[in-house]
Structure 1
Amino acid sequence: MVEQTLSIVNEKGLHARASAKFVEVVEKFDARVTVCKDGMDVSGDSIMGLLMLAASRGTTIDVRTEGAEADAVMTALAELVADKFGEGF
């Protein structure tokens, strides 16, 4: 299992489009992803679950990955979040 805390840095936070991109990355790997915020755990392949976290700019999410490609998916997700979900702001 791999665990990492990621800071949400894009202007709109983990909104619908950002959540869809997160799920898109998760689904490319043979791994299970769990995202936690404020005591709530959701599956990393659920757009609705991610939206329920209400992760706005400046908040952090804890990401856990398990499976054959746990390291690779964590790296990809960390890069996605650091890149502001490709939004540029």
Structure 2
Amino acid sequence: MVTKTVKLTNEDGLHARAAAIFVRTANRYTSEITLEAHGDSVNGKSIIGIMSLGAFHGEEVSISANGVDEQEAIDNLVELVENNFISS
């Protein structure tokens, strides 16, 4: 399992658009993806789960991946968050 913590620097945090982009990216991987904020942990492949975290600009979230492509998943998801949910 690989876990990294990242700060939400985009203006709106994990709002609908950002959550949708995160989920679309997470679903490219076979690893289990988990997102944690405020002590709550949700499936990183669930848009409803991610939006229920209520994570806003300036807050930190932890992204965990467990599986065969866990490192690649974490690297790409952290990069996505750090780039304000603008995928390359």
Q: Which runs of 4+ in 1 moved over 4 A?
A: none
Shift of 1:46: 0.5
Q: Which runs of 5 or more residues in structure 1 are unaligned?
A: none
Shift of 1:70: 0.2
Shift of 1:63: 1.1
Report the residue type matching 1:35 in the other structure: L
Alignment-derived partner of residue 10 in structure 1: 10
Alignment-derived partner of residue 80 in structure 2: 80
Between the aligned residues of both structures, percent identity stands at 34
What is the TM-score of this pair, normalised by structure 2? Answer: 0.95
Number of residue pairs aligned between Structure 1 and Structure 2: 87
Q: Quick one: distance in 2 between partners of 1:78 and 1:63? A: 8
What is the TM-score of this pair, normalised by structure 1? Answer: 0.94
Q: Which runs of 5 or more residues in structure 2 are unaligned?
A: none
Shift of 1:86: 1.5
3-state SS, counterpart of residue 30 of structure 2: coil
Output aligned runs, 1:50-89, within 5 Å. 50-86=50-86
Report the residue type matching 2:70 in the other structure: A
Structure 1 residue 40 and structure 2 residue 40: aligned? yes
Q: Quick one: distance in 1 between partners of 2:57 and 2:38? A: 15
3-state SS, counterpart of residue 65 of structure 1: strand
